[in-house]
Amino acid sequence: MRYVPHTKEEVKIMLEAIGLKNVDELFSDIPSEALLKRHLHIEGGWDEEQLRTYFRQAASGIPTVNNAVYFLGGGVYDHYVPSAVDKIISLPEFYTAYTPYQAEISQGTLQAMFEYQSLICDLTGMEVANGSLYDGASAVAEAVLMAMRVNGKRRVVVSECVHPDIVEVLRTYQLGHDFEILTLPQKEGITDLSPLEDLADVSCLVMQNPNYYGFLEDMNTASQLVHKAGGLFVAAVDPISLGVLRSPAEYGADVVVGEGQSLGNHLNYGGPHFGFFATKMDYIRYMPGRMAGQTVDVDGRVGYVLTLQTREQHIRREKATSNITSNHWLMALASAVYLALMGASLPQLGQSILNRSTYLAEKLVSVGYPLWKRQYFFKEFPIKVRDAEAVQQALADAGYYVGPVIDEHTLLVAVTEKRTKEHMDKLIELMEGLQ
């Protein structure tokens, strides 16, 4: 809705209603010496079309997914978003809906939340899921807090191959909670699990698969070792990868979390996105956030309610499972629409991404850009270069965006289903010219 200024008559009526003579009286509490006692020195104004033209021209030089080619990874990806996703989440009943406190007037939102939770359970193989969290990083941190509620232990083990932003969020949570963080080292982009063999009294282990570098971890062994150490296994996963990889439930994950941006959400300048959270039925009472459930009314008709909402807004603060008081529901809804449309195609989608990323990796190796190691990966992989920032800038100047920079001699390259063979061959040509 465009802004329409008030008429002088409307301003007069509003001032009379609050007992003022003029607009200046609205600011009578401001010291007179702080007020500007002259008109602003502004040149003649533009009409609406002039203003639109100016901003169109100013924006024309900004790289977007429409005029640049993105091989950017590291947590946010340029995936295909069906037009139906944006259309459905833009419906007023979804786009303007607030927290569904009153079930009788929130059935659409609650049913959509129930469907979303069901889809996340299908995707991860877990038994229950909540109505989403703020992002993948906060989902990991909340999973750690939940593990400590379950077993009362305060030792958290985190792989060095987990995204550094996730680790930073976890350390922020550490400031308000009394727990220890131990780090498992990495060797060429893969977690060294051997230190875990000698640990005991562990609350949980956090592993990411594919990890920050795109490599696949030995999640089976990690699961066995942390359970032997008495802890829960928290698996942070890329949901798109689950079309081709084993579900976390199959390798014994106790909590499955992750960043949901890949599921029907645009890049959005890095956010907002949402975090998904799924676990076993045994831990449902320890789960953060809220959960919608299906029931029947007195007449036997199917209805939906907030089954669990043990948040500080609803119960005594000391008994709340989390201080998470809301979620990014519109983003989560987008993922539900995406999964309803694309869910059956996830195996083909995952295989397509795997084929494309493998093709590009092999081509880059052939022109002198080796991988860190010959290791299984999904969607992204690190390559060695002479000067990572210089290569990144040179490619950006040509309209090709690659990264992030891992270190002085390492770039991360991500390939989604939107990257065509022409895109990849052009990138290879550009990088060959930088040798």
DSSP 23-51: GGGGGTTS-GGGS--S----PPPP-HHHH
Give Cα separations from 47 to 44, 51, 173 (angstroms): 10, 6, 50
pTM of the model: 0.87
- Same domain? For 74 and 25 the reply is no
CA-to-CA distance for 423 and 132, rounded, in angstroms? 34
- Same domain? For 251 and 163 the reply is yes
- Same domain? For 274 and 405 the reply is no
- Same domain? For 284 and 352 the reply is no
- Same domain? For 364 and 334 the reply is no
CA-to-CA distance for 248 and 225, rounded, in angstroms? 15
Residue 64 lies in a domain: no
* Domain edge (last residue) among 312, 343, 374: 343
Residue 18 lies in a domain: yes
**389: CATH:** 3.90.1150.10
Between strands 291-296 and 380-384, the pairing is unpaired
Residue 161 lies in a domain: yes
Residue 1 lies in a domain: no
Residue 59 lies in a domain: no
Residue 392 lies in a domain: yes
**119: CATH:** 3.40.640.10
CA-to-CA distance for 76 and 240, rounded, in angstroms? 12
Centre a 10 Å sphere on the Cβ of residue 181 and count the other Cβ atoms it contains: 15
How does DSSP classify residue 133?
B
- Same domain? For 127 and 104 the reply is yes
- Same domain? For 104 and 183 the reply is yes
- Same domain? For 126 and 45 the reply is no
- Same domain? For 169 and 237 the reply is yes
Between strands 302-308 and 405-407, the pairing is unpaired
Residue 202 lies in a domain: yes
Residue 61 lies in a domain: no
- Same domain? For 407 and 283 the reply is no
Q: Residue-wise pLDDT tens for the chain (435 aa)?
A: 566 788 899 999 999 999 999 998 998 999 989 988 888 888 888 888 999 999 999 988 888 888 899 999 999 999 999 999 999 999 998 988 878 888 888 999 999 999 999 999 999 999 999 999 999 999 999 999 999 999 999 999 999 999 999 999 999 999 988 899 999 999 889 999 999 999 999 999 999 999 999 999 999 999 999 999 999 999 999 999 999 999 999 999 999 999 999 999 999 888 899 999 999 999 999 999 889 999 998 999 999 998 887 655 555 666 677 766 666 899 999 999 999 999 999 999 999 999 999 999 999 999 999 998 878 999 999 999 999 999 999 999 999 999 999 999 999 999 999 999 999 999 999 999 998
The helix (H) or strand (E) run that includes residue 109 is: helix 107-124
Domain that holds residue 403: 69-81+345-432
Count structural domains, the chain: 3
* Domain edge (last residue) among 318, 343, 368: 343
- Same domain? For 33 and 75 the reply is no
- Same domain? For 142 and 230 the reply is yes
Cβ contacts of 364 within 8 Å, gap of 6 or more: 383, 413, 428, 431
Nearest to 254 by CA among 281, 233, 274: 233
CA-to-CA distance for 427 and 434, rounded, in angstroms? 11
Residues 378, 209: contact at Cβ < 8 Å? Answer: no
* Domain edge (last residue) among 291, 318, 343: 343
